[in-house]
Amino acid sequence: MTIIQKKSRTRTAILAAAVTLFYEKGFQSTTVQEITTKAKVAKGTFFNHFPTKESVLHALAEERLTDLPQFRATIPAHSFSILSQIRATFLFLLKDYDIHPALTAQIWKQVAENAPILLEHWTLLLREAELELSREQTIHFSHIVNSHMAYTMHAFKNEPTRLGLVKKVMALIETSFEAISYKRRPLSMKKLVVLGAGYGGMRVLQRLLPNDLPKDWEIILVDQLPYHCLKTEYYALAAGTASDHHLRVSFPEDGRLQIKYSTVTAIHPKDHFIELANGESLQFDKLVIGLGCTDKYHGVPGADQYTHSIQTMGATRRTYEALNNVRPEGIVSIVGAGLSGVELASELRESRPDLTIRLFDRGDSVMSQFPKKLSSYVQNWFVEHGVDVSNNSNITKVEPGALYNHDERIESDAVIWTAGVQPVDVVRELDVEKDRSGRVVLTPQHFIPNQPDIFVVGDCASLPQAPSAQLAEGQAEQIVTILKLQWKDEALPEQMPRIKLKGVLGSLGKKHGFGMMGERPLTGRVARMLKSGVLWMYKYHSG
């Protein structure tokens, strides 16, 4: 072994011992003596490598900083604003915060306060951003970033998550930058606000974030939940055959994306701002509204009070609890035999063989909008599996413990409503033109007439095809096309092509399924396997 190799090995051993002790006892309580004992080296050897205990922290930071240029190569300056680049850099440097918050905060506080290595990185980043700053201004800005980092690591060291910590430091940096660069356009970001991280909202993010967001734009996503929910699987969550966790997909992590967890309470299209339940108001330059839908009760008395829902994650969790607490051999009624009612009834049949399950359908046969072969297959499945289907039903009232079909009282331990949807309240309350279902009428380019900066996607939008996750995604693709043309100041097409849908797939429990692939009806195990495959692919590409 050469002398250099030996020295490097000793240094690594000291670092490993120090890190272990810092994790166990904290930085302050660990002594150099303890580090040398653990590393099995003499005290003099320690000081040959590290002049002070603090310099061990610098060495740990250096390890991460060595990988920084490689990481930065993945966030090209031409497509990320300077603030997004700084945010992405923080996320990278603080990678270990969620595992070792105290030590990570200590390391970066120490480095930001005392070592020039980090400062040099900020200076380089600002220089490469081509902000037309003088040399002095660039250095000045680097010091601002560095001192905000040091302050945040000290003042907010108890912040529970990395994202929260980065949010805090970025708030300080943005305020300082805005104050200093008053009227300096490259630093102030324009905001594309996306309301709702459903199928439509997520697709907008997925398409814009890799390469297509202009440099001076950032995205702010608002959702009441901290993950994207697989709404198409809510029937399985309600029946108790899929876990809650199985239905969640993480949001993308990107320096140009800010996420706000709150409920949207009002949208002001003309004044370009929205209000959130947490009291915040949010200005936007462009807006995509994708808040999905909620139940529509068609004025049936008691339906809103005494039925359970599978339209939101929260409501579905409550439905799961209600369904799985139904007494042995109890009675469950499901109102509505569209795709979601059919899937819920069949899944519940497998989950609770003891229950009497009643499915109330308005039509002559279930899934009557589909070809006869398919609708008969589904109807027969219910007959064979002991689900009572009441065709041509009309639910006139719901009360605790019962519903009324054509005014005939039917005892039910739980009633689930899947008989109609409408956009969420905040969209219904928007003062813009809507169709008969309360969906927002749009131009062919998917924005509100005379409001080219406000798009509506998915279940809230009035479109020629029936609402579905596939349609929301297809529409989101077209919205992204329009946004890109607007950003380039290019003419918009007068019409958009009809959104192509691949087909419909539904499940009948875990083994059987049905669907339409183009014009072709599909039934049985193959349809079920295809449905599972589509779900797997979706999670794989989104997660």
Q: Which is nearer to ligand FAD, 291 or 403 (CB)?
A: 291
Residues touching ligand FAD: how many (CB under 6 A)? Answer: 34
Residue closer to ligand FAD, measured from CB, 192 or 339:
339
Q: Should residue 10 be labelled a site residue for ligand FAD when binding is judged by CB under 6 A?
A: no
User: By C-beta, is 101 or 201 nearer to ligand FAD?
Assistant: 201
Question: Could you tell me the CA-to-CA distances from 103 to 52, 65, 97, 357 in Å, in that order?
Answer: 17, 16, 8, 56
- DSSP secondary-structure letter at 245? G
Q: Six-digit token pair at 347?
A: 């899944």
Among 81, 309, 470, 523, binds ligand FAD (CB under 6 A): 470
Q: How far apart are CA 289 and CA 455, in angstroms?
A: 6
Which uninterrupted H or E stretch holds 166?
helix 162-180
Binding of ligand FAD at residue 542 (CB under 6 A)? no
**Kind plus residue range of the DSSP H or E element containing 228:** strand 228-229
Distance CA 386, CA 355 (A): 10
Smaller CB separation from ligand FAD, 69 or 226: 226
Q: Is 291 in the site for ligand FAD (CB under 6 A)?
A: yes
Q: In terms of CB distance, is 46 or 284 closer to ligand FAD?
A: 284
Is residue 222 part of the contact set for ligand FAD (CB under 6 A)?
Answer: yes
| Binds ligand FAD by CB under 6 A, chosen from 310, 335, 398, 448 | 310
By CB under 6 A, tell whether 366 contacts ligand FAD. no
Report the C-alpha gap between 231 and 105 in whole angstroms.
38
200 binds ligand FAD (CB under 6 A): yes
- Closer of 255 and 506 to ligand FAD (Cβ): 506
**Whole-angstrom distance, CA of residue 284 vs CA of residue 271:** 9
CB-nearer residue toward ligand FAD: 19 or 249:
249
d(CA 403, CA 414): 10
As given in the structure block, the two tokens for residue 257 are: 């994306």
Candidates 17-25, 47-55, 60-68, 461-469: pick the segment binding ligand FAD (CB under 6 A): 461-469
Of the residues 468, 481, 486, 542, which one makes contact with ligand FAD according to CB under 6 A:
468
How many CB atoms sit inside 10 A of residue 399's CB?
14
Determine the interface stretch with ligand FAD among 25-33, 216-224, 295-303, 522-530 (rule: CB under 6 A): 216-224
Choose which of 159, 218, 223, 413 interacts with ligand FAD (CB under 6 A). 223
- Relative orientation angle of helices 82-93 and 162-180, to the nearest 10 degrees: 150
Contact with ligand FAD (CB under 6 A) among 77, 322, 432, 469: 469
- Residue 232 touches ligand FAD, criterion: CB under 6 A: yes
Among candidate residues 304, 330, 302, the one with its CA nearest the CA of residue 315 = 304
Burial 369-396, CB ≥16 within 10 A → b, else e: ebeeebbebbbebbeebebebbeebebe
Crossing angle, helix 82-93 and helix 54-66, to 10 degrees? 120
Q: Single out the residue of 21, 220, 426, 448 in contact with ligand FAD (rule: CB under 6 A).
A: 426
**Whole-number minimum distance, CB 345 to ligand FAD, in Å?**
11
Paired tokens of 36: 């040398």
Q: If you ran DSSP here, which 8-state letter would residue 505 be given?
A: E
Contact call for residue 336 and ligand FAD (CB under 6 A):
no
Smallest separation (angstroms) from ligand FAD to the CB of 363: 18
Q: Is 387 in the site for ligand FAD (CB under 6 A)?
A: no
Question: DSSP H helical segments within 67-134, as ranges?
Answer: 68-72, 82-93, 101-114, 116-128
Residue closer to ligand FAD (CB basis): 144 or 469 = 469
Strand partners, 293: 423
Judged by CB under 6 A, which stretch of 246-254, 323-331, 335-343, 402-410 contacts ligand FAD? 335-343
Q: Which CB, 119 or 225, lies closer to ligand FAD?
A: 225
207 lies in the binding site for ligand FAD (CB under 6 A)? no
| CB within 8 Å of 309: residues ≥ 6 apart | 294, 295, 315, 316, 318, 319, 416, 417
Smallest distance from ligand FAD to CB 540, Å: 17
- Per rule CB under 6 A, is residue 290 in the interface with ligand FAD? yes
Q: How far apart are CA 465 and CA 467, in angstroms?
A: 6
Closer residue to ligand FAD in complex, CB, 424/440: 424
Work out whether 249 is an interface residue with ligand FAD (CB under 6 A).
no
Interface with ligand FAD includes 225 (CB under 6 A)? yes
| Contact residues for ligand FAD, defined by CB under 6 A | 196-201, 222-225, 229, 231-232, 234-235, 263-264, 290-292, 310-311, 339-340, 343, 424, 426, 458-459, 467-470, 472
